[in-house]
Amino acid sequence: MAIHPIEFRYGTPEMKAVWTEEHRFLRIIDAEVALAQAEAACGMIPVDAAASIAEHAQSASLNRAKEIEDEIHHDMMAIVRAISEVCGESGRWVHYGATSNDILDTATGLQLRDALQILDRKLRSLLSALLDRSMETRNLVCIGRTHGQHGVPTTYGLRFAIWASEIGRHIERLEQMRPRVCVGQMTGAVGTQAAMGEHGIVVQEKMMSFLGIGSVEVSNQVIQRDRYAEYFCFLANVATTLDKIGVEIRSMQRTEIGEVEEAFGSKQVGSSTMPHKRNPIRSEQICGLARIVRSAVEPAFQNNTLWDERDLTNSSPERILFPEATILCDHIISLMTTVITGLLLRPDRIRSNLILLQGINMAESVMIELTKRGMPRQEAHEVIRVRSMDALETRRPLADLLSTTPDIIRYLSSTEIARLLDPEQYLGTSVSQVERLESRLRPLAK
C-alpha cells in the first residue's frame, strides 16, 4: 500500500525511475563491474574474471540480495554475495579491495548524473517557455508594485524576463556543479587505498572513466558530503525561484487584482462547495512543495559532519533526502512549465489597475522632467509629493492638481503634464532589456 505521496500523487515517471530500488541496484552493479575492469587493466585480477563479472553481474537479483540481507543484516555485503553467486568462479573477485561506500557513493554519483540530465532538460524547457512569454508581452504595460503599493509602470515582458534570467543562472549553476557532484571513489576502508597497493590511484581513475563520471582526489571511507550539500542547496535555490514565481501568479490572480489566471479546464472543479471558484492550485502546490525541497538543506549540511573517517549518521537521512528532494524539485519544475505555458493574461484588468490611481503613480515622471527644466530636484520632489498626497486624499486625477499649481505650470503646460502622466511613455529600456536577454538566453533553451 502506498504511503508517501511521491508514490501516487507527485513526481514524473522519468525522475522516479532514477531513484527506484531497482535502478540503484543496477547502478551498484555498474560500479562493481567497472571496478573489476579497472583492476584487470592494472593486472590486479585476471582479465577473464573481469570479463565474466561484466557478462553475468547484471543477472543478479535484487530479491536474492534482500534474502541475504535478512540473514546477515548488511545491505552492501548482501549485494556483493548476490552478484558473486551469478558469476561462478569469477565471483571471488567481486568487490576486491573495496569498502561499501566505494560502491554505494559511486552509485549515488551515477544516479546524480542521471538526475541532473533530467533537471537540465526540464530547466531548459521552462526557460524556453519564460522567454516565449517574455517576448510575447514585452510591450504589455502593467502597474509596478513595491511594498505591495502601486509604483511606476513596468511590463509583463520584463517580469517574465526576470524569471527567465534566474532560471538561466540555475542552468549555469547546474553545469558548474555537475563535475563536483557526479563523482565516485575507490579509496578503501579509511581512504588510504591500502588494499590496492600501488595501483590504487590508477584503479580509481580507470573505474570512473569506465563509468563516465569524475573521480575524487582524496577521501576517507565516504565521499565528503559538502558535494551533496551543494546539490541540495541547488535544488532549494531552484525551488525558491519557482516559489517566487508561484507567489506572484497567486497574487496577480486575486479577485481584486485579476490580471492573470492559471489555465482552467472546462470540467475542472474549483471548490466542493463554491461552484464559482477558479483557484491557482498549481502555483499553490509549487509553493507548498518548495518548502519540502528547502527542508533538505539542513540535514544535508549535517551529513558532512561525520566522526573521524566516517560514521553511519548520514546514511539513513540520505535514503530519504535524495529521492524526495530531487523528485519533488523535478515535479515542480514540470508543473511550473505547464503553468507558464497556459497562463492567461487579462488585458482589461491589467489596464484598469494601471490607471487606478489616476496618474498619481506617475509622479516620478513629472519630478524628473521638472528637474530637467530647471527646478532643483529636492524642491521638485516636495512639490510633487504634496500634490500627490492631495490627490490621494481627494481622489482627484493628479493632472488636475498639477495643472493648477503655479510652481509647476511655470515649467510645464497641461499638455506636457498629460504626456508625462501617460504610463505608456515611461517604460525606459524595458523592451530593449527583454530583447537583449532573449538573444543571450535563447541558445540555452530547448
Please tell me the distance from the alpha carbon of residue 131 to that of residue 299, in angstroms, as a whole number: 35
* Spatial contact of 390 and 351, defined as CB atoms under 8 Å apart: no
Residue 100: beta bridge partners? Answer: none
Q: List the one residue out of 321, 318, 309 whose CA is nearest residue 235.
A: 321
Q: List the one residue out of 274, 316, 335, 322 whose CA is nearest residue 296.
A: 322
| Residue of 73, 147, 266, 276 marked active site | 147
* Spatial contact of 93 and 47, defined as CB atoms under 8 Å apart: no
* Spatial contact of 101 and 221, defined as CB atoms under 8 Å apart: yes
Amino acid identity, position 231: Y
| Residue 271 a catalytic site member | yes
Please tell me the distance from the alpha carbon of residue 108 to that of residue 18, in angstroms, as a whole number: 10
Report helix, strand or coil for 307.
Answer: coil
| Residue of 59, 61, 271, 413 marked active site | 271
Residue 64 cell numbers, joined: 536474492
Strands (DSSP E) found in 352-399: none
Please tell me the distance from the alpha carbon of residue 97 to that of residue 36, in angstroms, as a whole number: 10
Could you say which DSSP state residue 311 is in? -
Please tell me the distance from the alpha carbon of residue 230 to that of residue 174, in angstroms, as a whole number: 10
Rounded (5°) CA angle 92-44-53: 40
Phi, psi values for residue 290, rounded to 5°: -60, -30
> Helix, strand, coil proportions of the chain in percent (round to 5)?
70, 5, 25
The residues assigned a catalytic role are: 147, 271
